[in-house]
Chain A
Amino acid sequence: MKTFSVSHKTVIVVDHCPYMAESSRQQIECDMLTKSRAQGVIPLAPVSKSLWTCAVECSMEYLRILYDIYPARKLDMSAHRDILACTVLQVNYIVSDSEFHILNSWRQEDQSVQELMSALAAVGPPNPREDPECCSILHGLVAAVESLCKITEYQHESRTTLMDMAERVANRGRIICLTNAKSDTHVRMLEDCVLETIQEQNKLAAGSDRLMPIQQCELVLVHIYPQGDDTLVSDRPKKEISSVLNSEVHSVRAGRHLASKLNVLVQQHFDLASTTITNIPMKEEQHANTSANYDVELLHHRDAHIEFIKSGMHSIFVFDQCIPDCVCTGDLHMAGSTSRDSGLKETVTLKWCTPRTNSVELHYCTGAFRISPVDVNSRPSSCLTNFLLNGRSVLLEQPRKSGSKVISHMLSCHGGEIFLHTLNSTRSTLEDPPSISEGCGGRVTDYRITDFGEFMRENRLTPFPDMPVDAAGRAPFERAKAQLERHTRYWPMIISQTTIFNMQAVVPLANLIVKDSMTEDDLLTCQKTVYNLVDMERKNDPLPISTVGSRGKGPKRDEQYRIMWNELETLVKTHVGTSERHQQVLECISACRSKPPEEEERKKRGRKREDKEDKTEKNGKESEEKGWAPDSERLKGAIEREKEEQSESEVIKDSPDSPEPFNKKPRLATEELLSLEKSKGPVSLLSLWTSRITQANSRKHQEFAGRINSVNNKAELYQHLKDENGMDVHENGKATR
């Protein structure tokens, strides 16, 4: 259905003239129970509906089905896509007697059966004593045309939003007129009147902002006559009256004939189709331990049958005669319109299937279509719908005489709405794919699966319908992405790449540091975490350092703590720009962590350099880092060197034996890099990760003693001579822990 097809606007016009008060002569026995209860009581006379009652209840049924399958919805007019993406169907209900009464408007909030029921109650049945001369359906038809010219909220917004494409917003509509016509000539007169009114209104509309000329109008005249009468009006299929007006005439007896006619029409008008669920097991009220099988017919969009139509499985369509006393020959060939016109209804039968499915199974589903039961308050229907509304799902299979079972559909409820899901029943081109363990990263066995699971739970989504954008103008899903970004600034993927995430003691800090804003309490918790770590280090508690790949027992305890502190610093540094309090966490760590003696620093530097050399060799193969890693690696190296230098110069500035300070040139370069880094924001994950790997690698082999102690890759000879002299200065200068 196109966005602005004739189905976008429907006007229902119901005749409210005195003759509609006439009885339909279909009698309903209300007095059912007395017969068995009290003999001698004269049963009450049966009641019968008027033509008006028949017309109103059938039109309400038409709308019930329509609103079940195409519910009215609030549109977000600010979203361009929203306007284009949804099907909006609107109905205007008009009653006609000596004048017209418009019972609702095009507005979305007026699109409800409840609202219309209330309005209809206020109108009441036709007054048989009203002067028939002043009453006419024409008042209503004229009003219907005028109403079609009125621009709907949706059309208006589409036009203003689309601007340059405004001319693509079309104005088409359908008028369903329920009346009691006098003759074929009378029908002709009604059609002419509608056409004339369209022409007049289109002229008016051309010069107005609030009106749109009608491009196409479909008139569906339903002539209702009492049972037992002969019809004075003949049926006529759709015919073009003019380029803007098509018209068709249906002559129907009041009562169930009218109901099934409107049921057929609603299917035609809104692309619906019927499915009958068969073999539904239901407990008998009287005998609770037995069950009988029932059938329930559902309507839904006809695309739910698209697989049958595509694959030419016409045999699946069953044709029921829905009007028992109408003589028809059942043409068992699938042909929608002809079979409908001949009074047959077609339905696809699908079998209730046990065992049922559970909700945590993800079916390959190619479509989901809202349903409406044909017989909404019959016992089988309400049993089925209540079963589904309680959150259970049912698989449906195609009835086959032999062969394998083909499950093609599923009924399932989401948020109080029942959907018919179409399941893929053809074989997939994706069968037997390689397992993920055979591809990249498939051999790695120590992924932090549980931690990432926890991460996913923290990054679950929830709807914020009332908060479209926050103070910073971000939509909720943008905030979700921003949170993912924050949470992954430092996130090692495997257990052996991390120490801090394997430590329960770090959890409080790790959880808080990723937050967008920290409270004073959060800050305190972080600081406590740090103090706790300091305490652990003092007590020499073991750390969960991975020994994977390293020879022997792995690094020594103090080395372990150094690695842990470095990693913690790395994590916190990525969040340091978030707020003042984040900054304070980093300061707390810097202040509390043990400062390794200069020796250590030198070692580290030496290793770093060597690792870098390693790196350049490896880059050929590990091309992932090729593009930008060396850059940030250099950056990071520079920052660290700078920092070390600062701390060194602080500590050893007085020492006569302090190593030669870095020459000015690299220092300048470092400053440049630093400012560059600031403008770039936090250090990227990849560079952090790379440095982690570098550190890990450095533990895997024993370093040449000379290089360990080297400065600028130059090993000083006869160091012991110096050490003897200068050692105590260092000892005094540093707080040893």
Chain B
Amino acid sequence: MPTVVLMDASLSMTRPVSLEGSEEFQRKNLAVHGLTMLFEHMATNYRLEFTALVVFSSLWELMVPFTRDYNTLQVVLVTDGALGIGRGSLRHSLATMKQRGEDKKFPLPFPFPSKLYIMCISNAEELQATDAMDNLEQLLTLSGGEGHIFTMDGPLCLKSVQAMFGKLIDQAYTPFHAVLRCGNLASDVQVFPRPEPVLLDDEVDPVPKAVLTELEIVGFIEIGDIASPPVLSRHLVLPIAVNKEADEVGAGTTDDMEEDTSTNQMAGKSPNFCVLLHGSLKVEGMVALVQLGPDWYGMLYSQADSKKKSNLMMSLFEPGPEPLPWLGKISQLGPISDALENPYGEDDSKSPFPVQPKNKRSYAQNVTVWIKASGLQTDVQKILRNARKLPEKTQTFYKELNRLRKAALAFGFWELLKCVAELLERECTLLPDSAHPDAAFQLSHAAQQLKLASTGDSQYAAFEHNITPMLTDFSGGGGGADRM
């Protein structure tokens, strides 16, 4: 989630902090110290986070802009909690919020999901002495409630500002480290952005699910078979050098950085499973199915940038035993070697996917719908068109006739059966002299059968019953070819 840092640069931030026996600090210095620590942490452990810095007092100035637009945001507001007075102050703005016009709406809540972290360069007692805390809390509630207000414990000094920013880092910027495993092959990885726990909209069991730090590959599937599945989120999977010094908060001296670079160079030269996996996934056009937790899965694949760059990416599926209907239950996916014969064929010409559902959907099974008159008219015309091409079209004629008959019986539309029977009888009388003699027999037979069905007589109006072509001397002595 991209971060915007809002830094209070108002005059009150230059208030000195009384400290015995050391050089004098302003609150601003403390804030800068805290932010330096945050940025250093990001530079070492959260490198890919996009960050912008805005400085404000009564006006504001964008110091470092984003290079892109995003649909989610993390806001870190650094202030001393001196909210000012009069027009434009937070106090005033909150109090007059309801009187604002449509064009000058209060900026919170943002029209996108966001988290607001407020870092107060003052301690709780100080804030509670005025109504500052209440106002800040109101601000947090307005923004949607996601986030936190941090205050400093004890005297205002470098140590306590470090402790406060340390808490922010723990809550919002701890990197997600995991081990990616494929059997005995493994690699330590950082997953970025870190996967947040997912709360299922579930009436019975509303417990948030978190991604395990042990990511285990289950097997592999072709990209065409997994077919652009819906995912909750996407994350880069970055191999990391192991046992790197546990990131000491704020301990980013130049020496360390240099050593860091050399370790990275070393790490670049020793083989890493992620790189192997990425290369093969890319070449083969496949994805690796990975287990993220109990009944929770995702996929690993090669994601190519527009340029020559590409990366190992992990997408998380919706938690559950069957996230993609076309794969079936994930727990029922097994190795192809267990199958009697290779489901992909010896030459990779077939695939066991997609899994076919038991029942076809309406659009795949030629259903009869007569809601619109045109639907009914089309069906009647189909029968008449085939009727005129008897005996060649005997099969299709009876197929269409039976389809209409079934629907008419189900809908209790007996009048239609009579009507079509009459139409067929008339067709019979209109047959040209050149017509095949079988045509007349079939037409009158079909008409008679429809009439019988329209009486509702159970012998003729059974739903499962089909009208079969009449056996005539012309229709090949009842040979199987023409029969339904």
A68 CA to B102 CA in the complex, in Å? 43
Given contacts A430-B48, A440-B275, A485-B184, 17 further A-B contacts (CB under 8 A): A30-B423, A31-B423, A85-B321, A118-B464, A126-B412, A170-B203, A259-B371, A364-B315, A365-B229, A366-B232, A377-B378, A441-B272, A449-B280, A452-B279, A458-B337, A459-B336, A485-B183
Closest A residue, CB atoms, query B308 = A435
B48 and A360: CB pair below 8 A?
Answer: no
B242 close to chain A: CB less than 8 A: yes
Please tell me if the beta carbons of B461 and A476 are within 8 angstroms of each other in the complex.
no
How far apart sit A118 and B410, CA to CA, in the bound complex (Å)?
Answer: 6
**Are B203's CB and A33's CB within 8 A?**
no
**A residues near B325, Cβ cutoff 8 Å:** 414-415, 417
- Chain A residues near B462: list those with CB within 8 A: 121
B426 contacts chain A at the CB level, 8 A cutoff: yes
CB contact under 8 A between A64 and B362, given known A117-B406, A158-B204, A433-B236: yes
One of B28-36, B140-148, B261-269 at the interface: B261-269
Contacts of A382 in B (CB 8 A): 363
Q: Which of A123, A448, A457 has the most CB of B within 10 A?
A: A457
Q: Indicate which residue in B223, B270, B343, B413 contacts A362 across the interface (CB closer than 8 Å).
A: B223
Can you report 30 A-B residue pairs in the complex whose CB atoms are below 8 A from each other? A31-B419, A31-B423, A34-B426, A64-B362, A71-B361, A72-B359, A79-B295, A85-B320, A85-B321, A123-B412, A125-B414, A362-B223, A365-B230, A372-B363, A377-B366, A414-B354, A415-B357, A416-B360, A426-B69, A436-B310, A439-B238, A440-B187, A453-B284, A460-B220, A464-B338, A467-B334, A479-B334, A484-B219, A488-B182, A685-B185
B129 at the interface (CB under 8 A from A): no
Q: Are B285 and A360 in contact (CB under 8 A)?
A: yes
Complex CA–CA separation, A476 to B334 (angstroms): 4
Cross-chain contact of A448 among B230, B231, B276, B406 (Cβ < 8 A) = B276
CA distance A609 to B122 in the complex (A): 62
Contact of A440 among B274, B331, B355 (CB under 8 A): B274
Q: In the complex, are the beta carbons of B423 and A76 less than 8 A apart?
A: no
Give chain A nearest CB distance to B460 CB in angstroms: 12
Report the separation of the CA atoms of residues A685 and B48 in the bound assembly, to the nearest whole angstrom: 33
- Interface readout for B278-292 with A: 1 if CB under 8 Å, 0 if not? 111101111111010
A461-B339 Cα distance, complex, nearest whole Å: 10
**B214: A residues at CB distance < 8 A:** none
B103 at the interface (CB under 8 A from A): no
Cβ contacts under 8 Å, B357 to chain A:
71, 73, 415-417
Q: What is the 8 Å Cβ interface bit string for chain A, positions 423-467, against chain B (1 contact, 0 not)? A: 000111111111111111111100111101101111111111101
Shortest Cβ distance from B185 into A: residue: A488
Partner of A385, one of B327, B364, B423: B364
> 5 closest A-B pairs (Cβ-Cβ)?
A441-B272, A476-B334, A125-B412, A415-B354, A488-B183
Residues on A with C-beta less than 8 A from B238 are: 434, 439
**Bound complex: CA A58 to CA B412 (Å):** 13
B224 to chain A, nearest CB (A): 4
B356 and A415 contacting across the interface, CB-CB below 8 Å: yes
CA distance A165 to B205 in the complex (A): 9
Least distance between A77 CB and chain B CB atoms (Å): 12
Is the C-beta of A363 less than 8 angstroms from some C-beta in chain B? yes
Is B241 in the interface zone, CB < 8 Å from A? yes
List the A residue with the shortest CB-CB distance to B375.
Answer: A377
A465: nearest residue on chain B (CB-CB)?
B332
CA distance A442 to B236 in the complex (A): 15
Q: Is B104 engaged at the interface, CB distance under 8 Å to the other chain?
A: no
Report which of A120, A122, A368, A460 forms a contact with B229, defined as CB distance below 8 A. A368
**At the interface, yes or no: A290 with Cβ under 8 Å from chain B?**
no
Most chain A beta-carbon neighbours within 10 Å: one of B288, B355, B362, B368: B362
Assess whether B471 is interfacial by the CB under 8 Å rule.
no
Q: Is the CB of B267 within 8 A of A441?
A: yes
Cα A310 to Cα B367 in complex, Å, equals: 36
Stretch of A42-50, A396-404, A593-601 at the chain-chain interface: A42-50
A67 CB-CB contact with B under 8 Å: yes
Q: For residue B451, give the distance in angstroms from its CB to the closest CB of chain A.
A: 14
A307 to B231, CA, bound (A): 15
In the complex, B474 has a CB within 8 A of chain A? no
Interface residues of B in 307-331 (CB under 8 A from A): 308-313, 315, 319-322, 324-331
- A463 and B352 contacting across the interface, CB-CB below 8 Å: yes
B175 to chain A, nearest CB (A): 14
Complex Cα distance, B366 from A381, in Å, reads 12
Kindly state the separation between the CA atoms of A382 and B362 in the bound complex, as whole angstroms: 11
- Is B298 in the interface zone, CB < 8 Å from A? no
Contact between chains at B236 and A376 (CB < 8 Å): no
Give Cα A60 to B384, complex, Å: 26
Bits for B242-277, please: 1 = Cβ < 8 Å to A, else 0.
110000000000000000000111111111111111
Question: Is B60 part of the contact surface with A, judged by Cβ < 8 Å?
Answer: no
A 57-84 contacts with B by CB, 8 A: 57-58, 60-61, 64, 67-68, 71-74, 76, 79, 81-84
Bound together, the chains give a CA A312 to CA B105 distance in angstroms of 15
**Cross-chain contact of A468 among B315, B332, B378 (Cβ < 8 A):** B332
Contact B361–A418 (Cβ < 8 Å): yes
- Would A57 and B370 be within 8 Å (CB), given that A2-B203, A436-B310, A457-B284 are in contact? yes
B434 within 8 A of A: no
Q: Which of B176-196 contact A (CB under 8 A)?
A: 182-185, 187, 193
Question: In the bound complex, how far is the Cα of B444 from the Cα of A36, in angstroms?
Answer: 23
- Known contacts A367-B230, A447-B271, A484-B219; A121/B333 CB under 8 A: no
Question: Is B227 part of the contact surface with A, judged by Cβ < 8 Å?
Answer: yes
CA distance A312 to B266 in the complex (A): 50
B312 contacts across to A, CB distance below 8 A: 436
Roughly how many angstroms separate A429 CA and B49 CA in the complex, as a whole number? 8
Of B202, B240, B265, B412, which is in contact with the most chain A CB atoms at under 10 Å from its CB?
B412
Chain A residues within an 8 Å CB radius of B230: 365-368, 421-422
